[in-house]
Structure 1
Amino acid sequence: MNKSESKYFNTALRMDEALIALLEEKDLEYITVKEICRRAGVNRSTFYLHYETIADLTDEAMDMIDRRFESYFPRREEEITDGIASRERKELVLVTREYLLPYLRFIRDNKKVYRAAFRAPGSVQAARRYGNLRQRIIGPVLERFGVPAAHRPYYMVYYVEGIAAIVKEWLRRDCEDDVEMVAGIIEACVRPREGFCEK
């Protein structure tokens, strides 16, 4: 990457970060180009050199978040999705510490983005992003377990929304509780074990 490409990239990154910070304060439809530019320390012509609309910047910022998210996981998504058809059913439980801990660490390290996502899911295209998770991972796993196609949307919404509710409460508490503790709570809710409540 040459010097001008590096400068272009760094300017775009500042605008991504500015948008993310503003999303924590207000809904996307109320954010202006002027506010993004002021927060990023650039002028309007620089914004329009990079993007045609705020929606273009939003797409780029969310793609950046997705790339950061993937870097937290020990295994790539392809390794997970490619093996669904051939793995034993007992290996297809995705709510395990292997997946929960990186997921929760990422949320803790990117609290602003997740607060914005819960405040205005449409602005960060949460439905599209969770739709990909449902189609590529959860759907095939449910199929392997013989869950009828008509029932799968209900299982999926329960799975995604249940975990999201726990994460939302954790964010409300500013992620003060330990990642291990929150992972344990999610595991217990999704796969309760005997004697969990016994003392």
Structure 2
Amino acid sequence: MNTKDNACKRETRRRIREALAAELGLQGSLDRVTVTALCQRAGINRSTFYASYHDVFDLAEQTCAEISQGMSGLFRGDEASGPNHLEILRHIYDNQEAFRLGFKLGIGDGPILRWDIYEEASRPADAAHEPMAIERHHAEFFRAGFNAIVRMWLEAGCQETPEEIYEVILGMVR
């Protein structure tokens, strides 16, 4: 495996994602973003872009799939504690550009905690019942707050460590 090529490819993908996030901010929607504008902003040629993506929608779709794939395993905590939120924060920190783009693409309210994943991960394996209304409301409140904190953290460039953000979140739920 050629690690230099892999590092270059990762760097190119990062620059393309950053370019897409910037263009989304300027254009307002994905259908107004052009491959030409992305390539100019990322400092690459069109053939480099097309080597990885069919179009801007494919870029967005691959980014969303990567976020979902990376997050799905992190929601499998043990039955007593549920998801490991510190590990989720570490994953976000390690993949900042993908998550910034995920928020800009409007994946739900954000790509971090979705109700269906949170509900499934928080329910004991043998529980077949629907969660009570209070559980659903609590989970939705927590999910929205978690997403808001993560969005702010990402927008500020993740200046705090994942552990510091985790302490902020713990302080709010105590």
What residue in structure 2 maps to residue 115 of structure 1? 100
- Give, as a single letter, the amino acid of the residue that structure 2 aligns with 1:35: A
Shift of 1:40: 6.2
Q: 1:23 to 1:47 in 2, by over 3 A?
A: closer
- Give, as a single letter, the amino acid of the residue that structure 1 aligns with 2:45: V
Are 1:136 and 2:120 an aligned pair?
yes
Q: Any stretches of 5+ residues in structure 2 without a counterpart?
A: none
Are the equivalent residues in 2 in contact too, given 1:107–1:114 (CA < 8 A)?
yes
Distance in 1, Cα, partners of 2:19 & 2:158:
20
What residue in structure 2 maps to residue 31 of structure 1? 33
Identity of aligned residues (%): 20
Are the equivalent residues in 1 in contact too, given 2:20–2:101 (CA < 8 A)?
yes
Distance in 2, Cα, partners of 1:137 & 1:31:
36
SS of equivalent to 1:175: coil
Distance in 1, Cα, partners of 2:98 & 2:34:
18
Shift of 1:158: 0.9
What residue in structure 2 maps to residue 41 of structure 1? 44
Shift of 1:59: 1.7
What residue in structure 1 maps to residue 159 of structure 2? 176
Q: 5 Å matches for 1:1-199?
A: 16-27=13-24, 28-29=29-30, 30-38=32-40, 39=42, 41-44=44-47, 47-48=49-50, 51-67=53-69, 76=73, 80=76, 87=79, 91-94=80-83, 99-122=84-107, 126=110, 130=114, 132-138=116-122, 140-141=123-124, 144=127, 148-190=131-173, 192=174
Q: Any stretches of 5+ residues in structure 1 without a counterpart?
A: 71-75, 193-199
Shift of 1:163: 1.0
SS of equivalent to 1:26: helix
Q: Alignment length, in residue pairs? A: 167
- Give, as a single letter, the amino acid of the residue that structure 2 aligns with 1:26: E
- Give, as a single letter, the amino acid of the residue that structure 2 aligns with 1:112: E
Q: Which one has a bigger Cα radius of gyration?
A: 1
Are the equivalent residues in 1 in contact too, given 2:103–2:111 (CA < 8 A)?
no
- Give, as a single letter, the amino acid of the residue that structure 2 aligns with 1:111: Q
Shift of 1:160: 0.9
